[in-house]
Amino acid sequence: MYDIIIVGAGPAGLTSSIYARRAMKKTLVLEAVSYGGQIINTLSIENYPANPGISGFDFATKLYNQAKEMGSEVKFEKVTEIKDNGDYKEVITTKGIYETKTIILATGLENRKLGVTREDELIGKGVSYCATCDGAFYKGKNVAVVGGGNTALEDALYLTDIAKIVYLIHRRDEFRGEEALVNNLKNRDNIKFIYNSNVTKLIGDDKLEGIEVTNNDGSKEDIEVSGLFIAIGRIPENENFKNIIALDESGYIVASEDCHTNVSGIFVSGDNRAKDVRQLVTAVSDGAIAACEAIKFINKKK
């Protein structure tokens, strides 16, 4: 029986494991893919206190090594279900079942998909969710960005330095993102704005060759692009817990700053919690709080 099982080895989950180990709790971290979470795709972190310019990879690796050195056990298994059996809980993974006194859900966010046919098939063959990761492959080519928030605007701006033409496609007639970014973009020669429109079809067999764009008035247009960067937000990875955990209408776990979920002994930390500010620093903050609350819960039961 573990004291604390943490689901997710991003900044929130790994920070929880450090606090748990400092309280000498038997701790297991379960991670589906690899440690680090979303931050590994950030080239340079500029807004984390006292360590400006550290790369996301270095940050994640330092944090992971710190957690391991503190004695956290980490297993790379995907959690498919959690069960509340009153006195103890069960965490079910693709490889086994683990018993624990408490659980911290720190699964974070995944990219929201457009939902067009063959989207998954063309990932890495023209379809991308990360301009800074994949932009370099589109030197001198035509690309499109979908979205209306800061990420879409930043992606478009980044790509105007690399690509030949950047189409920015947004379903509304104005952007949600910062005005300064929009103005910046308008000054670029190779940007084309397509408002009130959605990407409705991906064209190309082995790789993306174009997209069909449908205007809200019903008219359709095919545009030749080699790359499509989808920046329409992220969604929480809480699907596997909704049998017992209360989620809000957007799928985030309902919990206040004390990180308690609706189930006693199950806590949430990081970006998958319902909150306003999702930053590296708030993720690690949640990580500390959730672990301290879990430790309190265990010690009270003794």
- Can you give the binding site for another protein, defined by CB under 8 A? 32-36, 40-43, 55-57, 60-61, 76, 123-126, 128, 133-134, 136-138, 206-207, 226-227
Q: Which helix (H) or strand (E) holds 93?
A: strand 89-93
Nearest approach, Cβ of 199 to another protein (angstroms)?
A: 17
Asked about 292 being catalytic, the answer comes back as no
Nearer Cβ to another protein, position 77 or 84?
77
- The CA distance from 280 to 60, in Å, is 11
The closest alpha carbon to 297, from 104, 105, 102, belongs to: 102
Nearer Cβ to another protein, position 127 or 268?
127
The amino acid at 275: K
CA distances from 16 to 8, 19, 258 (A): 10, 5, 13
Q: State the catalytic residue, choosing from 58, 84, 130, 292.
A: 130
Nearest approach, Cβ of 143 to another protein (angstroms)?
A: 11
Q: Helix axis angle, 150-160 relative to 179-186, nearest 10°?
A: 30
* Token pair for 212: 């069909």
Q: State the catalytic residue, choosing from 134, 155, 271, 286.
A: 134
Nearest approach, Cβ of 204 to another protein (angstroms)?
A: 11
Nearer Cβ to another protein, position 84 or 209?
209
Asked about 259 being catalytic, the answer comes back as no
Q: Which residue has the tokens 């090594």?
A: 65
Nearer Cβ to another protein, position 55 or 240?
55
Q: Do the Cβ atoms of 134 and 127 come closer than 8 Å?
A: no
The closest alpha carbon to 7, from 110, 65, 96, 76, belongs to: 76
Asked about 130 being catalytic, the answer comes back as yes
Nearest approach, Cβ of 249 to another protein (angstroms)?
A: 29
Catalytic positions: 130, 133-134
